[in-house]
Amino acid sequence: MIQAKAQVILRSLWHYRGFMAGSVRREFQARYRNSMLGAAWMVLNPLAMIVVYTVIFSQLMHARLPNASSQFSYGIYLCAGLLTWGFFTETVSRLQNVFLENGNLIKKLNFPRICLPVITVMNAGLNFSIIFGLFLGFLLISGNFPGWVLLGMLPLLLIQVLFAVGLGIVLGVLNVFFRDIGQLFGIVLQFWFWFTPIVYTVSTLPAKVQTLLKFNPMTALIGAYQGIFVSGLWPQWSDLWPVTLLSIALCAFGMLLFRRHAGEMVDEL
């Protein structure tokens, strides 16, 4: 039963692959179409961000990680957390608006709705790969490339995308019926960011707060990224079980919510 449904979904996604690829391409073209430098902006913006975090923080402000060797280590620590966190928030916050933004399309055309979240994730993924590619380039040049341990990122990214998709679809469906969700989540994200060790390290916090941080599903993920890039350590897989299970549960709940309310959603848009 479930297998048959999954097959139907996959088949319709495959059938509409041209549409999805076109949508992703179109979004990128639309963003830079009327600018003179065009696609260069795709690289310049993230480049500026990486330069700010690595060069300026490390070189000018002399921010250092406790007991770290490289002069760039704090910049790398920042980037490892910020870039992946950025990918996460971009995915979730765009997913929560995906049905609202495409309301007209959903109401007037009959096509597999599941394409829309897929396009969103692909877009966010593409943005992330550009900025992350630049970051890897910087690591290579500055001699901080982590080596094989980089492969540890793949399962981490998979879990993160699952988590973001599950959360994003749940919020996206709810947001159609309760528009407050979108506003509320903007605030939640701000607190969530500072409640995750991205710009600071866990060890600088009092022990009480450290325990509290363990309940934040992003702590384990971000920590694992930072481990790979700063210390060249493979992720502690045992730490990642809770967030993985949570992600699967969220995805299942999101699909259930979507299936149950898809019809009513069209009426509400």
Partner 1 sequence: MGKVTVKNLGKAYKSYDGRWARLAEWILPFARQRHQLHWVLQDIGFQLEAGEAVGIVGINGAGKSTLLKLIAGTTQATTGSVAIQGRVAALLELGMGFHADFTGRQNAVMAGQLQGLSGAEIEELMPAIEAFAEIGEYIDQPVRTYSSGMQMRLAFSVATASRPDVLIVDEALSVGDAYFQHKSFERIREFRRAGTTLLIVSHDRYAIQTICDRAILLNRGKLEMQGDPVEVMDFYNAMLAEKEQQTVRQERLADGRLRTISGTGEASIASVALLDDDGRQLEVVEVGTHVTLEVRVAINAPVSRLVMGYMIKDKLGQSIFGINSHRLGMPQADLQPGEDLVYRCRFPMNLGKGSYSVAISLSRLDSHLDTNYEWRDYSVIFHVINTRHPDFVGCAFLDAEMAVERSHGRASVSKDGVTA
- Where on the chain is the footprint of partner 1 (CB under 8 A)? 15-16, 18-19, 22-23, 26, 29-30, 33-34, 104-111, 177-178, 262-264, 266-267
Looking at residue 81, its amino acid is G
56 or 105, CB closer to partner 1?
105
- Measure Cα distances from 96 to 17, 50, 110, 145, 155 in Å: 22, 27, 21, 35, 24
The least CB distance from residue 235 to partner 1, in Å, is: 37
Backbone angles phi, psi at 97, to 5 degrees: -110, 0
The least CB distance from residue 130 to partner 1, in Å, is: 21
- Measure Cα distances from 191 to 99, 186, 216 in Å: 25, 9, 11
Question: How is residue 91 written in tokens?
Answer: 């995915």
The least CB distance from residue 256 to partner 1, in Å, is: 13
29 or 204, CB closer to partner 1?
29
The least CB distance from residue 110 to partner 1, in Å, is: 4
The least CB distance from residue 42 to partner 1, in Å, is: 16
Burial class (CB in 10 A: 0-12, 13-18, 19+), 97: middle
Q: Crossing angle for the helix pair 115-141 and 73-95, nearest 10 degrees?
A: 170
37 or 245, CB closer to partner 1?
37
243 or 265, CB closer to partner 1?
265
214 or 259, CB closer to partner 1?
259
